[in-house]
Amino acid sequence: MRKWFRQTAFSSLLSALSIGFCQLSGAQEQSGVTLFENVRIFDGKSAALSAPSNVLIRGNIIERISTAPIAVDRRADTRIIAGGERTLMPGLIDNHWHAMLIRVTPAQSLGDVGYLNLLAGAEATDTLMRGFTTVRDVGGPVFGLKSAIDEGIVKGPRIYPSGAVITVTSGHGDFRQLTDLPRTIGGMPTRMEQTGGAMVADSPDEVRVRAREQLMQGASQVKLTAGGGVSSPFSPIDVTTFTEPELRAAVEAAENWGTYVAAHAFTTAAIRGAIAAGVKCIEHGFLVDEATAKLMAEKGVWLSMQPLPEDLRLGFPVGSVQRAKADEVWPGIARSYELAKKYKIKTAWGTDVLFSAALARQQGAILASLSRWYTPAEALIMATSTNAELLGLSGKRNPYPGKLGVVEQGALADLLLIDGNPLDNINLIADPANNFKIIMKDGNIYKNTLAR
């Protein structure tokens, strides 16, 4: 017993020293100064660019913004970037992302976890290189990837993780096969649950356990599926899944941790059930009716929407259950955006790309497609400061406390330098390889084509 105790104590000491060293190393990396000179600023809130300005970053914080010259000591760790009146704007935020489910097929998502994390790490780097410096991950075993990014092992965006999607038997997110039935209550978890992709919970008590497990692992918010979904094989769109007491159990668990529940819901019945239970954010809402849209606005419930591209719908095979459900849902996208605008619902933006690396490469183009309903300024404000406002609902569970989604004094230095004015031409966002000259996250530059 003593030997075990000594070994455990020594391991704890090594772990503490390692964490301290990593924190010290991070502080040293961010001790430098970056000065952007002669840039036009989109601050994440305004509908127009600033006058030519200078922006001083010290470490990972924007320290000063001025139209007058800013003097700095020209030390070895000082970077001065000639902006040439290019646009400096906040890093983009995708509020409906699934980092672990982009480059895999549904079958592969239940496979070797090491392989899945390597794929997800490569995709995370590409996500950052598309200018997305933050994502809210609303379903998947992403905690390890988040840690690797935060520790500098993998290049990628900040991740606000939900962990496993919590669903009911046959609900959206239940990717088990019929051969996995019947479920034994209290028995061995299925492969889907072992990997942490989704958890089945069929009572208020089970919901509490599963929600608390995600919070224990570091979830910044909890994700449930309140109604049917497109991609799940046994989840009709019209079905309302969780009962109100079950949803309330998740809300209670999340609120005890100072955070909130986001609920997947398409139909009016699913949305109203979630609102009645205290859910703060509805994901999708594509089949919402006008009275429910008005109710959401009155209660201040967020609507996290996605202008899903046709390529995603067409990716489901003709004749499949999933294709039939996609055909049912897609026509509602335009109307839900119109209702969101009419009633001024708090509206966030995301992509919800699943099982397609090709579609992930269109992340910026999906954002630009908001121009069907919004001006370029409105769309970019949604993908920066508005999305950051939703992230703030995590309270003390926020893994990255500080101002995100804005270019202002005291904000975290997540920045893009763009060749052109995206407020005039939002399609610049669709081609980050050519138009994003600098990508900075947390004060560190990950791309700089001006230095060539």
Q: Using CA atoms in the order 47, 48, 54, 59, what is the torsion angle rounded to 10 degrees?
A: 20
E strand map for 42-114: 53-58, 61-66, 78-82, 87-90, 92-97
pLDDT 10s digits, 367-418 = 999 999 999 999 999 999 999 999 999 999 999 999 999 999 999 999 999 9
pLDDT at 111 over 90: no
pLDDT at 12 over 50: no
Q: How far is CA 272 from CA 227, 263, 341, 441, in A?
A: 11, 11, 19, 38
pLDDT 10s digits, 75-104 = 768 899 999 999 999 999 999 999 999 888
Q: Rounded to 5 degrees, what angle do the CA atoms 235, 139, 360 make? A: 100
Is the CATH code 2.30.40.10 the one for domain 29-90+405-451? yes
User: Quick check: 443 and 125 in contact, CB under 8 A?
Assistant: no
pLDDT of residue 72: 86
Reported confidence tier of residue 109, pLDDT bands at 50, 70, 90: confident
pLDDT at 11 over 50: no
CATH code: domain 92-373 is 3.20.20.140
pLDDT of residue 5: 37
pLDDT 10s digits, 188-220 = 777 777 777 889 999 999 999 999 999 999 999
Alpha-carbon distance 248 to 264, whole Å?
15
pLDDT of residue 390: 98
How much is the mean pLDDT over the chain?
A: 89
Q: What is the pTM of this model?
A: 0.90
Helix H or strand E segment including 262: strand 261-267
Q: Which long-range contacts (CB under 8 A, 24 or more apart) does 428-435 make?
A: 429/92, 429/131, 429/364, 429/365, 429/367, 429/368, 429/380, 430/362, 430/364, 430/365, 430/367, 430/368, 431/364, 432/129, 432/130, 432/131, 432/364, 433/129
pLDDT 10s digits, 15-46 = 443 434 343 333 334 458 999 999 999 999 99
pLDDT at 449 over 60: yes
pLDDT of residue 31: 53
Residue-level length of the chain: 452
pLDDT of residue 263: 97
Residue ranges per domain, the chain? 29-90+405-451, 92-373
